[in-house]
Structure 1
């Protein structure tokens, strides 16, 4: 089989990107299952860290990958990335997490992260080499890179159904396939070094054999999962969102565990649901309905509603995997609960359904599936909850009948903030004194808070008290018995001023929807400084701080390492050589050095800006697209493809016009980020009441412009740097990636403390700095090459041909030599 070098290059880069995104998503699921939800966010940054490491390595050692061994080395790197992926997945699967005590876990987790970063570093080195030596093809290269990433996102949606470890094996196969394309490209031109076909074939066949072996006789299962006793696990299934396991039934109950931080009981058809604090609303309304349960899970709250005499129960569940468990293997066990005529099952977002539902509800119950361990350890700090915001609670209150009730359940440690949230929402809804609308009781480390739009009468409070006493629940709050002075202050303030306590009691909002993040901004330095308490009580913040430290450290190292290396090299040349060079320079002053600092700063700024925009716009895109399970690949595809198209549109921009174009695009992004900071959150909330199609159109109207604009800057920057000093490209690309990884951690920390509006303003600042730092282009332009990648038209000094100089023939393209 013979392919052109251009086809081999483009196909190989697309396969590399596909494998990278597929492996990235697979690792987020694996790390979440092994170590908890915060580690999933850290895993998202591994491709950026790897790309930064690969680009820096190429800049420091250009002979690693350059013509005439460009394709051969890229084939080797892709094959090694496949092997490194296999090694990392086997290491993660077979060893599992280290013990929880002592310093060993940190070293063990660091080792696992390092092993997981190796495939991304090898792939990043190959991509940096392609950008360095085929810079004139950057717009098309960038398009295919991002389209390949979008395909990887779609492949993840399919492959994760077979399990995250198998999806990672599929990523290893895609890495090996990229090696095949580069191997074929190395065979199509005389003088090009041939790739080792045996090595490439070994990893392709090895990946397929391992995957086929696991399908035939499963051997790749995660050891040491964060779940109940493994010997009690009866059912295990991966979904697009997480790993679901179900324990063997005991006393008529099978415990379903969702990921590492949530669980929900499945009751058998003959078991009467035991009383829980969430059921107290039925003490007021008896069999009056309809009722809405947001987060149906294993169906306990649906069963409780039916037990209370409800004839019309709407159950909303956003995880299709849960529905498949309830309607599949455990359908007979639970008495076909979700198929009963009284139960109306809805797959989707509960808040959006409530806004669109054409009826008012007598009871709305929002149970909590989070485990007590996850709540007390801070493992949920990075998790958003659009249900538990002032606007979200207000939306549910507006869908109640005048005397209808809303019941919210959380762990005991979260109750004070839950009380603050409900009081603020009631005051916004017009309640003069929120405490008269609230009642709470607790049991088994979980507290349920009942809120009503109209004040609770004395007989209502007494009925609720009798219900709690009968079932031995502890009263946590009542209009006449606040329980603690802090709670009395909370309901009086109703969010206007939070009491000065160690935990953050300010009510979450749609702009800052992190209900489980409880560290006030004023205490953040002190919390970060206490490493022992940080690990034990703030797992999410600890993971974020570690990512920030690693990203910032690598960024500083890569920014300074080439400078230090150059100084060492000058010292080694000796005093005599330096004196000679000084004399020569005095006689004939050299031209001024290229604007290196501006080029590096520009790439760092656009890397940080894109990461910040992606964090904010991506999250709101997920909210707009009410597509259970499939919203993640949908938003990913739209954002990546639009960014790739934005890069392709720069193909005809000449280098001498790229400076002006880059500055204008960055300035437009500044304006777009500011407008989004002002209007994106209100727009997303308003859209919740729309049907699916208008919301999809609105999501496209937001995602596509950001993608087009942000995607144009990297190819323009490559064009500018290639006209100045092509040898700088790997360094620029490395700083761009590492700045993105650092910005991810800073952006998440900013959103948790200040909100997404502040995050978008930070993105606007990054693009403003990029607009100010756009490097000027050198004279001349880079022409498009032919079908084969051959000898360079760039001279030995690395300068591009002068304007009007003779160009090579179409079948002899321009490839810059190594710097």
Structure 2
């Protein structure tokens, strides 16, 4: 039996470059699809990408043995070129093809969409082929090569932030295509296995030139941009019909300014008859909108902003003092506070493009240099992070329609997570109030999305932790009004005063509400007007004295309106798990914001089929010669599945748990994803090649540390909550890095051992691991949605505990590392 081939020295670095391009492309594609389509489809597309990686491993299982060792370098380079060409095609398609949204529904899987998603799998299939072929051919060196693979992926995740900030998603994908092609040069570096005979050397030289030329051309295309990579279609809207006045990308958004569209406000008073100031439309990811109001210093010209329901708080207590506006955006709420008499406004906005490039850029004069006024302090930071660490106290803390359906570069798995609408977030905002201050929160209910009751439930939970002697009924006021003329949609404004509303404030509120045409859903003294079931539910949540009885009543409702927490921060997601079978056969979701369950249910079925195919095809059609294989295939593949499920459960559980704490979407990407991948690379390099006892101890340690992390994270986030963003990120990143080191051990250790006793099973093992990762990503999201991030991490620990049991047989013996 011939000795196994030795990997060329350049293979590891080349693999790192290719993996960096693949991971960065996956994250960049998430950003692009969040703009071009709806964010739910970003989740679907990434699942398709993961499937492409897994399917490629299955192909390697069938054909890998036919590839001679001296030809492996060529095939690795061909895979890299396939990534490059595929990414360019995907880029051009999504920038220029318009899905038929309004004929098929906002989130319907039309034939055109399915075709686009299959196209998006091509570059990941090609890249997966190269990675799988490399790790299969040189499986005995898996710990070293896998470390290079993960190290490159970590660099790719980190580089995505700079890439998107510098040139945006369309041009960024083209640059990544070039990087992938250039990795092919590394796969063809001088080595006996590649160059072979003198006759083969010209072919090798030609292949290198092809990789270099295609790589350079793709990088050049991305660097210069131009018409092919300009965004022409977004969410079915032809941008050529309404050319943007401004457009800029960063790692978590596309900010666009469009011409005036006649917007009157989210909840303009029904009885307001005054003028509406000229405005421009600032949109994030072509969806979430904030207006730019033309302002030349005269508050009378912008009086309409003070007649919006979101500004009602300033009528309840006219002398409310300094205001803190969370999610200030284009400044409408800042104007409302100033026009209502606030002596100073602190405007906190997480998106630097809005503050620095729009409000202080070309539209500075249009908005009257609003963020440059002496009575306005603009801060670029996550609003909740600022509220936690500031020493200032405010008469009003103001959140108005601060939500988005954007998928950050951290991945599409965030779904409808929103760190501003949790019990802990409300506690942070309440802590920033003066003794007689008011927290004002406004959002919108739709027919199948009861936001009003959920806001009140969160307020009740946050106030309960303060143990105030003031009765809950005296601390809350809730108003409502029709929203934008949408059928049955209602905008709710929840006012929270920890010290209670005095009688004069209540009478003033009732008087102004009547004059403006707003409805009272609740006011102290049980002054609410009877009305809709949603309004009745709001009153029940406020008046029910028994928490346990209220919990039972809310559990019986068709929608989940219980208080969201940092552990389960999915504010706009209100489905019950029992809805899963119904969602499976639903054609479209009931509303736009949060019911990704409809899509998730369908992806679950597709992922299960994917896993079954990856398991069954090698059994039905064979593949490599198995005559020399030893050990149980069922145990090996079961171990692969456990690693796929366990890794995704732990990774996504951490991402969901830490995103609210870190606030900045870019920080969530940098800390969670980069720390895990870098830790995995270290673990693979330092520990995976050790002896049987060391590897098994590392796997057992992983179970213990994952459980400790799930237990310790709430305490760690509480201790670091008042720190500035950078030290807070480092503190959390240290814990994630330690866990990542242990996460990186079992897979390469298993590959190295299986390559000795069952070489035909290596690619199959890799394929099953990838396929179960697709399914695990969806199941992990469902777990987080319904049971919380901590439960997701603990489930991952339980799966790794099962892997410990199976690993007794799979990890026997020591690997032979050449």
Task: State the TM-score, normalized to the length of structure 2.
Answer: 0.86
Taking the TM superposition and a 5 Å limit, the aligned residue runs for 1:67-82 are 67-82=69-84
Q: Deviation of residue 200 (structure 1)?
A: 5.2
Q: 1:137 to 1:535 in 2, by over 3 A?
A: farther
Deviates more, 1:392-401 or 1:730-739: 392-401
- CA contact under 8 A between 2:17 and 2:180: conserved in structure 1? yes
Q: Which runs of 5+ in 2 are unaligned?
A: 1-5, 262-276, 484-490
Q: Find the counterpart in structure 2 of residue 506 from structure 1.
A: 562
Q: 1:97 to 1:564 in 2, by over 3 A?
A: same
Q: Find the counterpart in structure 1 of residue 98 from structure 2.
A: 96
- CA contact under 8 A between 1:71 and 1:186: conserved in structure 2? no
Counterpart selection for 2:164 from 160, 163, 170: 160
Q: Find the counterpart in structure 2 of residue 288 from structure 1.
A: 320
Deviates more, 1:39-48 or 1:528-537: 528-537
Q: 1:139 to 1:386 in 2, by over 3 A?
A: same
- CA contact under 8 A between 2:195 and 2:204: conserved in structure 1? no
Q: Find the counterpart in structure 2 of residue 309 from structure 1.
A: 341
Q: Find the counterpart in structure 2 of residue 148 from structure 1.
A: 152
Q: Find the counterpart in structure 2 of residue 723 from structure 1.
A: 756
Taking the TM superposition and a 5 Å limit, the aligned residue runs for 1:112-127 are 112-127=116-131
Q: Find the counterpart in structure 2 of residue 267 from structure 1.
A: 293
Deviates more, 1:203-212 or 1:643-652: 203-212
Q: Find the counterpart in structure 2 of residue 441 from structure 1.
A: 479
Q: Deviation of residue 767 (structure 1)?
A: 0.2
Q: Deviation of residue 745 (structure 1)?
A: 0.4
Q: Deviation of residue 46 (structure 1)?
A: 4.0
Q: Which structure: larger Rg?
A: 1
Alignment partners' CA distance in 2, 1:373 and 1:411: 17
Alignment partners' CA distance in 2, 1:189 and 1:526: 55
Q: Deviation of residue 608 (structure 1)?
A: 1.2
Alignment partners' CA distance in 2, 1:456 and 1:228: 46
Q: 1:216 to 1:488 in 2, by over 3 A?
A: closer
Q: Find the counterpart in structure 1 of residue 518 from structure 2.
A: 473
Counterpart selection for 1:212 from 212, 220, 230: 220
User: What are the superposed Cα offsets for residues 77-109 of structure 1, whole Å, 9 maximum, x if unpaired?
Assistant: 111221111112112222132333249843222
Q: Find the counterpart in structure 1 of residue 643 from structure 2.
A: 606
Instruction: Say which SS state the counterpart of residue 6 (structure 1) adopts.
Output: coil
User: What are the superposed Cα offsets for residues 173-214 of structure 1, whole Å, 9 maximum, x if unpaired?
Assistant: 011011111122457765376655545544543454355356
Indicate yes or no: 2:506 matched with 1:461.
yes
Q: 1:43 to 1:550 in 2, by over 3 A?
A: same
Alignment partners' CA distance in 2, 1:757 and 1:476: 35
Deviates more, 1:135-144 or 1:112-121: 135-144
Taking the TM superposition and a 5 Å limit, the aligned residue runs for 1:386-425 are 386-413=419-446, 414-425=451-462
Instruction: Say which SS state the counterpart of residue 70 (structure 2) adopts.
Output: coil
Q: 1:607 to 1:591 in 2, by over 3 A?
A: closer
User: What are the superposed Cα offsets for residues 153-177 of structure 1, whole Å, 9 maximum, x if unpaired?
Assistant: 2322122131201111011101101
User: What are the superposed Cα offsets for residues 235-261 of structure 1, whole Å, 9 maximum, x if unpaired?
Assistant: 221121121111113552111011144
Q: Find the counterpart in structure 2 of residue 800 from structure 1.
A: none
Q: Deviation of residue 695 (structure 1)?
A: 1.9
Q: 1:732 to 1:182 in 2, by over 3 A?
A: same
Q: Find the counterpart in structure 1 of residue 488 from structure 2.
A: none
User: What are the superposed Cα offsets for residues 285-307 of structure 1, whole Å, 9 maximum, x if unpaired?
Assistant: 32432211111111111111111
Q: 1:443 to 1:371 in 2, by over 3 A?
A: farther
Q: 1:595 to 1:188 in 2, by over 3 A?
A: closer
User: What are the superposed Cα offsets for residues 747-789 of structure 1, whole Å, 9 maximum, x if unpaired?
Assistant: 111111111121112101110111111163699755443xxxx
Counterpart selection for 1:29 from 28, 31, 48: 31
Q: Find the counterpart in structure 2 of residue 42 from structure 1.
A: 44
User: What are the superposed Cα offsets for residues 254-298 of structure 1, whole Å, 9 maximum, x if unpaired?
Assistant: 110111441101111234152211212212332432211111111
- CA contact under 8 A between 2:687 and 2:695: conserved in structure 1? no
User: What are the superposed Cα offsets for residues 479-508 of structure 1, whole Å, 9 maximum, x if unpaired?
Assistant: 324444322222234664443322111111
Q: Deviation of residue 651 (structure 1)?
A: 5.5
Alignment partners' CA distance in 2, 1:487 and 1:710: 45
Alignment partners' CA distance in 1, 2:666 and 2:76: 35
Taking the TM superposition and a 5 Å limit, the aligned residue runs for 1:489-528 are 489-493=540-544, 496-499=551-554, 500-528=556-584
Counterpart selection for 2:133 from 124, 129, 133: 129
Instruction: Say which SS state the counterpart of residue 476 (structure 1) adopts.
Output: strand
- CA contact under 8 A between 2:73 and 2:187: conserved in structure 1? yes
- CA contact under 8 A between 2:566 and 2:660: conserved in structure 1? no
Alignment partners' CA distance in 2, 1:591 and 1:31: 46
Alignment partners' CA distance in 1, 2:74 and 2:375: 65
Instruction: Say which SS state the counterpart of residue 754 (structure 2) adopts.
Output: helix
Alignment partners' CA distance in 2, 1:704 and 1:396: 31
Alignment partners' CA distance in 1, 2:192 and 2:359: 54
User: What are the superposed Cα offsets for residues 204-227 of structure 1, whole Å, 9 maximum, x if unpaired?
Assistant: 434543553562633312333138
Indicate yes or no: 2:21 matched with 1:19.
yes
User: What are the superposed Cα offsets for residues 557-612 of structure 1, whole Å, 9 maximum, x if unpaired?
Assistant: 10111111139999xxxxxxxxxxxxxxxxxxx99942221111111111211111
Q: Find the counterpart in structure 1 of residue 723 from structure 2.
A: 690
Deviates more, 1:233-242 or 1:480-489: 480-489
Indicate yes or no: 2:189 matched with 1:184.
yes
Q: 1:665 to 1:318 in 2, by over 3 A?
A: same
Q: 1:731 to 1:503 in 2, by over 3 A?
A: same
Alignment partners' CA distance in 2, 1:688 and 1:111: 45
- CA contact under 8 A between 1:139 and 1:651: conserved in structure 2? yes
Q: Find the counterpart in structure 2 of residue 331 from structure 1.
A: 364
- CA contact under 8 A between 1:650 and 1:715: conserved in structure 2? no
Alignment partners' CA distance in 2, 1:120 and 1:328: 39
Q: Find the counterpart in structure 1 of residue 536 from structure 2.
A: 485
Alignment partners' CA distance in 2, 1:767 and 1:58: 27
Alignment partners' CA distance in 2, 1:223 and 1:551: 32
Q: 1:359 to 1:497 in 2, by over 3 A?
A: farther
Q: 1:38 to 1:102 in 2, by over 3 A?
A: closer
Indicate yes or no: 2:239 matched with 1:237.
no
Q: Which runs of 5+ in 1 are unaligned?
A: 571-589, 786-819
Alignment partners' CA distance in 2, 1:532 and 1:282: 40
- CA contact under 8 A between 2:7 and 2:138: conserved in structure 1? no
CA RMSD across the alignment: 3.0
Alignment partners' CA distance in 2, 1:696 and 1:97: 39
Q: Find the counterpart in structure 1 of residue 269 from structure 2.
A: none
Alignment partners' CA distance in 2, 1:591 and 1:12: 31
Instruction: Say which SS state the counterpart of residue 723 (structure 2) adopts.
Output: coil
- CA contact under 8 A between 2:630 and 2:757: conserved in structure 1? no
Alignment partners' CA distance in 2, 1:282 and 1:767: 54
Q: Find the counterpart in structure 1 of residue 466 from structure 2.
A: 429
- CA contact under 8 A between 2:573 and 2:595: conserved in structure 1? no
Taking the TM superposition and a 5 Å limit, the aligned residue runs for 1:776-787 are 776=809, 782-785=815-818
Alignment partners' CA distance in 2, 1:564 and 1:535: 43
Instruction: Say which SS state the counterpart of residue 448 (structure 1) adopts.
Output: strand
Q: Find the counterpart in structure 1 of residue 774 from structure 2.
A: 741
